[in-house]
Amino acid sequence: MTGLRALLASVVVILPLLLAVTGTPPPGRSAAVAGEAAGPTSVVPGVFSLAPPRRAGQPSPLLAGGQPPINCRKAKCVALTFDDGPVKQTAQVLEVLRGRGARATFFVLGMQANKRAGLLRRMVAEGNAIGDHSWNHPKFFKMSAKAIRSQLMRTNKVITAAIGQHQLLVRTPFGQQDARIRKLVARLGAPVILWNVDPQDWKYRNTKTVVRTVMKAVRRNSIVLIHDIRPTTRAGVAQIVERLQAKGYVLVTIPELLGGSIKPGKVYLHG
């Protein structure tokens, strides 16, 4: 019996050392947690991606923030989308989303994202998605195909440098799109993500008005357009999230809302 105890004790001491050498996470600690010290160029789950096919053992791109994917064919889903950031105060929006177990999609401007790579990494680490909203919000209708491509690719490079993964969602500035623009975006392998709920928070800079308009217009599978750059909008995000959840809505990313069936060049107004 004494010999058996000694053998078990040696196993307890030696096993963690062997696991450390082989890189295998010890029992009770997931591989995702074991890789938490990875640098900014590590692939971050949660972004609908242009990246090569996943290798065996890689996490699903929709298993973001350690949360399981949502099946919006069964759940009552809504996608909140935030445009024109990130700004420093976007962190306040992320706090609300994390605190309520909600997810969203951030359509970022390259000129803003270029200054806040840390916020981009936090977005995807907490289960949100990122989309390309151009470099500096020009009017695509007045631009050449080459200039439009440059706007999108410059922003894509900033996103990739921050999170280590290409994104595959485009929202054109002002929602401008026609056959020419759709064809160009399709060649980049991306869809055009628009919206069907717009409280015009850029115009009505009143928190109560924004919240009331969203709640009145939202339906199952809606895509809501709001702006994290607007203080009056940020002040209403908690109310919007809480009221939607109280009505039984699950707040998801665009890839989750569309269920992975995203077609390049197609315009999506809702799920």
Question: Looking at the annotation, which residues are catalytic?
Answer: 83, 227
Instruction: Report which DSSP code applies to 59.
Output: P
Crossing angle of helices 90-100 and 231-246, in 10° steps, is 10
Which alpha helices (H) appear in 137-205, and where do they start and end?
Answer: 145-163, 179-187
Looking at residue 160, its amino acid is: T
Q: Is the separation of the CB atoms in 162 and 125 below 8 Å?
A: no
Distance, CA of 45 to CA of 123 (rounded, Å): 11
Residues 6+ apart with CB under 8 A from 73: 259
Which alpha helices (H) appear in 101-178, and where do they start and end?
Answer: 110-113, 117-125, 145-163
> How many CB atoms within 10 Å of residue 83?
24
Looking at residue 4, its amino acid is: L
**For residue 77, which phi and psi values (nearest 5 degrees)?**
-100, 150
Rg (CA), the chain: 21
Task: Measure the CA angle with vertex 196, ends 194 and 201; round to 5°.
Answer: 90
**Two tokens at 121?**
């990494």
